[in-house]
């Protein structure tokens, strides 16, 4: 007789997955994703020390920063406003695997960027973190994270495009 508890998983796996689905106020998985997302940016800051932001549109620069910090904060901390959590183990797995794949592609894009700065790579580096924030917001049913991801995406894509254009 085969007894399954959650989504066809065995007992110990079900207990692990159930614990991951209910993150409480602090999302450790979100923190790990944020550290992995920020790591290549630290290398960029070291390699291109003193690089200036070529975007002069203050509105988009503010949108980018507000969206960035809101998204990063909401990926890690659950504040209890407009968030409903994972609907089940399947959505948690989609969140985890989807973000892992997006992070892997993001790191590959950074490797390409460090070799040669191209507009399409720069834009991929703007779109991928937006995708991570959006995927996380959708899977966690976290409305504020979705909104902040959209704000970040609009600002970050515009600012990145302006910077990439001026590098040529």
pTM score: 0.82
What are the structure tokens assigned to 2, written together? 């085969």
- Which residues are within 8 A (CB) of 44 and not within 5 positions of it... i.e. 6 or more apart? 110
Angstrom distances, CA of residue 138 to CA of 17, 75, 92, 96: 19, 12, 11, 12
Are 139 and 92 in contact, with CB atoms under 8 Å apart? yes
Taking the C-alpha atoms of residue 106 and residue 4, their distance in angstroms, rounded to an integer, is 36
Residues in the chain, overall count: 168
The single residue listed with the structure tokens 């580096």 is 125
Taking the C-alpha atoms of residue 94 and residue 53, their distance in angstroms, rounded to an integer, is 35
User: What pLDDT was estimated at residue 84?
Assistant: 75
Task: Count CB-CB contacts under 10 A for residue 45.
Answer: 11
Per-residue pLDDT of the chain (168 residues; tens, 9 = 90+): 444 444 555 444 544 454 555 567 788 989 999 999 999 999 988 888 888 888 889 999 999 999 999 999 999 988 777 677 778 888 889 999 999 999 999 999 999 999 998 999 999 999 999 999 999 999 988 999 999 999 999 999 999 999 988 775
User: What pLDDT was estimated at residue 61?
Assistant: 94
């Amino acid at each position: 007789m085969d007894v399954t508890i959650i989504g066809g998983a065995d007992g110990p796996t079900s207990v692990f997955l159930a614990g991951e689905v209910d993150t409480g106020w602090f999302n450790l998985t979100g923190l790990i994703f944020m550290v992995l997302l920020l790591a290549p940016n630290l290398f960029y800051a070291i390699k291109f020390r003193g690089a200036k932001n070529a975007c002069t549109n203050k509105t988009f620069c503010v949108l980018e920063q507000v969206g960035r910090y809101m998204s990063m904060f909401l990926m890690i901390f659950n504040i209890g406003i407009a968030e409903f959590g994972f609907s089940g183990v399947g959505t948690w797995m989609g969140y985890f695997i989807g973000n892992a794949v997006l992070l892997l592609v993001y790191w590959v894009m950074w490797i390409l960027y460090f070799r040669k700065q191209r507009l399409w790579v720069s834009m991929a580096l703007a779109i991928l973190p937006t995708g991570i924030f959006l995927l996380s917001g959708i899977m966690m049913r976290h409305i504020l994270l979705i909104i902040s991801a959209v704000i970040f995406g609009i600002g970050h894509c515009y600012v990145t495009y302006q910077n990439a254009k001026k590098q040529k």
